Structure 1
Amino acid sequence: MQSPLAYSSDGSEHVMNIRVDDVIRITIEKNTDIEAESYNPGISEADILVNKGEFDPSLNLGLDETYDRQKTSLEIDSTTQGQINYNLSLSGKAVTGTSYELKWQNYRYNGNSPFLNLYSYYSSGLSLTLTQPLLKGFGIDMQLTSLNAAKNTVQAKKYAFDSAVVAKVSEAVKDYWNLVTARKGIEAAAVALTLAQKTSDEVNARIAAGMTAPVDIYAAEAETAVREEALLAAENNARNAENTLKAIMNVRLFGTRLELLSSPPEPTTPPTLDSIIEQAHKLRQDYQKALIDKKNKELFARYYKNQMLPDLSAIASYGQTGLDGQYHSTIDELASGKYYSWKIGLVLNIPIFNWKNRGNYTKADLELKQTGAAIREIEKNITVEAAEAYNNLNYAIKKIKASGKSLLAAEKTLAAEDGKFRAGLSTLNDLLKFQRDYAAAIYDEAKSRADYAKSLVELNRIQGLLP
């Protein structure tokens, strides 16, 4: 696609040929508010990793050596003992809530105690311990609450980003049509000034011919001055409108002129109000985000309700050991299963007041109800905004027809009045009045078309659509 940026003939100023599609693209690419909002989904995706980390297995390695020499009351002066430990364990929590630890413990012992049968030996043990919650924290849904909420939040942030894009782009396109209107204001003011100057020249000619009193020139010149001021005001208004559009597109304010290439669309039959509301419920990003927020509130309400239950856990462990003077024999003995241990049982923990969990559940339940009310408010706003936009669009269509007729009438009336003035059948004040009416009609007709274009933008925004 060819860049809309071009140099003017003298190279002193950039001329940016720009259409509505360019405004949409450049705003999405360069608007700083949109850029800032674009990072939020990625930030939320990082929270998914954080919550996945709750189920990360942990590998633990240990290696240490101890030595002890003590004086005794036995026949030997002292006893010595040394031990080298090298252990390996894998622990973590499954999505079912089951905590596990698989532990392999090894050590080598050396000592001279007279009570030992072996002064040097190896010991090895392999054990597995499992703990499963049966009430509080029971079930995959409870364990995955934070992770599922984080995944939902990512989608909610994407909706928030899309909503920000739609809002900012809609604002930019409206600014485009505001600039179109402002430039038309310059054109209308220039037409009015040209007519006043022409009339002033005619009055001077009539004064010279003795056809009118010299005092008439003051009225003509005063009107010319007023219209010169009006043109300056229109040009200033257009510069401000241009800077507003540049700012939202993040285009440099000075040294660049925007050349507008798009014209307001021709009016077409608008969709029905019911279809607009239906589309808004399907696509409107803030509404979809609110539904996701409600889903997350439901997740945490269920979670905190579960957290009020007593903490009852089943515990089970099993292990096998081996001991011998040679390490390989120790491993063989461990593998034989001759020496083993096991444990099974229940652990119950009942909080006396449980204020923390009761408070968390009360808060989560109220937030859920609050979110439901917020959703109903959005639904109401969608209906109100859709009805207003629908009415404005229909009004804009009628306004285009009415302003077109007014412009044609003003043009014909001015032509007739100008003829009467030349024939001496009309006053200067009447002519100047009809000139003002004609210039105002030019502006009103252009503004009504731009207002129609902005009404379409607003109608799309309400439905969650780009212009």
Structure 2
Amino acid sequence: MLRKTVFILLLTTFVADTRSEGQTNRLLSLSECIQLALLHNYDVQIERLAPEIARYNLDGAYGAYEPSFNASAGERFINQPATFDPKKPGIDAPYELTTDSLGLGITGLLPTGLSYDAGGTASYLSARTDFSPSPKDAVLFPPNGIRDTNQYFSVSAITLRQPLLRDFWIDAYRQKIRVNKKNLKISEMALRWKIMNTINAVQQTFYELVFAREKIRVEEKALELATRLLKETRKRVEVGDLPPLDEKQAEAQVQTVQTDLYAAEQALAEQQNALKNLMTDEFQSWVDVNVEPGEGLIAVPQIFDRSDSWRSAIGSRPDLVQLRLELEKQGIIVRYRFNQIFPRLDLVGGYGLQGWRNSLGDTFGDIRDQSNPIYSYGVEFSIPLGGNRAARNGYRASQAVKQQAALQLKKVEQDVLVQVDDSLKAAQSAYQRTNSTREARVYAEAALEAEQKKLQNGVSTPFVVLQLQQKLTDARTAEIRALSDYNKAVAQLALNEGSTLEKNRLSLDVK
């Protein structure tokens, strides 16, 4: 049995050495873990792109007000045969007309809904008319009755259209811009919330890692106590002071504690991987790194005020701000849908100048001198005869969606109040447990020490000592569990009340 026990201890040492072989130790504080997570966590990296995408969409929406330059150049040819017009005597002479034109213009839209189209066109008209079918007209154009004419024509004009009802105070473009502004703020709040949740996840995992490390120490102490008791019991069995059953019970305790130690080591490895997964985007480079928490488990007393926590949560939590922005965004949609119920009433008008001359320069002179103005103005009215069913039902649907968003906001606000109350009570309870479990551990140590003395004096049995050893191990585990739970509860309370960044002295500046 002695050889077997020694073999177990050597195997434990070998396993520990094997696990540490090829690994590098890295001591990290909680603050350092948070900084690494903010730089390398995949969820944060993914969410960080959302405001950038939203900003691109917002900038793109302003493209509706970019003026468009257009240019055209071409030639048009008409070969018109002789035609008969019953309103006139004779026939219309056949002709060929070639028109060469060049046009330039700018079209666009203003944020008020005013659309404009300004431009100019210069044309050269060349005509060839055949009067030979009419001898009396043909003699006017010797020698063969063909008349060649040409002329230049230029025009410069602008036309405007201003909606007065539908699309007046809001239209599809303005709605898109305002919605995209809200989306940008929503994406910024989503990033802030993701960062806060990531920080909380790091804190929760860090404290679990510290617990796992302390749990190994607890089990190592328990193994040391069980091994020492086994040696003492074996000696007394050999001399006949104790029955062999006591030795078997002591050996069973050693094996049980050894199993618990293996489980604790596995839990530590899993917590290390969980923390690494939060801190890095290259797990391969961290897989052989042994992360050592640079902090222990302590219970720093805090003052808890439910009213302050509620006030902070309702006013600061990014997820609630997101829902309020969603409600405001839906209000913009309702406003647009309401506008679309109105009939279309547009004020339209245009003004231009033209010139007809035998040279292109003279036509420009006419335009400059405003010799031949052209203008128009009026209103255009349009209304669906069926009562504008599509627009009215779209408006009603948007109102219902807005009401739904308002109720969702109220529901989440109430859920947040419950979360804050639960986490506050959890923190208070955990702090109380840190005191009671510490006292329980002290009493368990004293009870074990007293029972060991009784065993040495022959007034107790190894079985009772084994029970007290297990109780001490349980008390030590309960103590570190309470300390871990308290720190985790404080971190969770900070998240639920929306103060995670402030509590960790961090600020977020989205650019």
TM-score, with normalisation over the residues of structure 1? 0.93
Alpha-carbon offset, residue 111 of structure 1: 1.8
Alpha-carbon offset, residue 424 of structure 1: 1.0
Identity score, percent: 22
CA contact (8 A) 2:237 2:244 kept: yes
Partner of 2:14: none
Partner of 1:377: 411
Match of 1:98 among 114, 117, 130: 114
Partner of 1:392: 426
Partner of 2:24: 14
Partner of 2:13: none
Distance 1:334 1:119 in 2: 22
Q: Quickly say closer, same or farther: Cα 1:361–1:118, change in 2 above 3 A.
A: farther
Partner of 1:261: 294
Q: Deviations over 1:374-418 (max 9, x none)?
A: 110121012101111111111111111111111111111111111
1:211-360 to 2 correspondences below 5 Å: 211-250=241-280, 251-252=283-284, 254-353=287-386, 354-360=388-394
CA contact (8 A) 1:307 1:357 kept: yes
Q: Deviations over 1:401-444 (max 9, x none)?
A: 11111111111111111111111111211100111111111121
Distance 2:405 2:413 in 1: 12
Partner of 1:415: 449
Partner of 2:50: 40
Distance 1:273 1:20 in 2: 27
Say whether 1:205 aligns with 2:235. Answer: yes
Query: RMSD in angstroms over aligned alpha carbons?
Result: 2.3
Partner of 2:210: 180
Q: Deviations over 1:354-378 (max 9, x none)?
A: 2321232122111100110111012
Alpha-carbon offset, residue 35 of structure 1: 1.3
CA contact (8 A) 1:414 1:438 kept: yes
Q: Deviations over 1:249-281 (max 9, x none)?
A: 234463121111122343222231111111112
SS at 1:144's partner residue? helix
CA contact (8 A) 1:95 1:140 kept: no
1:41-56 to 2 correspondences below 5 Å: 41-56=51-66
Alpha-carbon offset, residue 16 of structure 1: 2.3
Partner of 1:3: none
Say whether 1:154 aligns with 2:188. Answer: no
Which one-letter code corresponds to 2:217 in the other structure? Answer: E
Say whether 1:134 aligns with 2:164. Answer: yes
SS at 1:317's partner residue? strand
Alpha-carbon offset, residue 212 of structure 1: 1.6
CA contact (8 A) 2:41 2:278 kept: yes
Distance 2:25 2:411 in 1: 46
Partner of 2:483: 449
Deviates more, 1:263-272 or 1:225-234: 263-272
Q: Highest CA radius of gyration, 1 or 2?
A: 2
SS at 1:236's partner residue? helix
Say whether 1:57 aligns with 2:87. Answer: no
Say whether 1:82 aligns with 2:112. Answer: no
Which one-letter code corresponds to 2:34 in the other structure? Answer: I
Alpha-carbon offset, residue 119 of structure 1: 1.6
CA contact (8 A) 1:90 1:103 kept: yes
Distance 1:265 1:427 in 2: 37
Distance 1:87 1:390 in 2: 74
CA contact (8 A) 1:298 1:368 kept: yes
> Where do 5+ consecutive residues of structure 2 fail to align?
1-19, 84-89, 132-145, 505-511
CA contact (8 A) 2:205 2:271 kept: yes
Partner of 2:15: none
Alpha-carbon offset, residue 140 of structure 1: 5.5
TM-score, with normalisation over the residues of structure 2? 0.85
Which one-letter code corresponds to 1:323 in the other structure? Answer: W
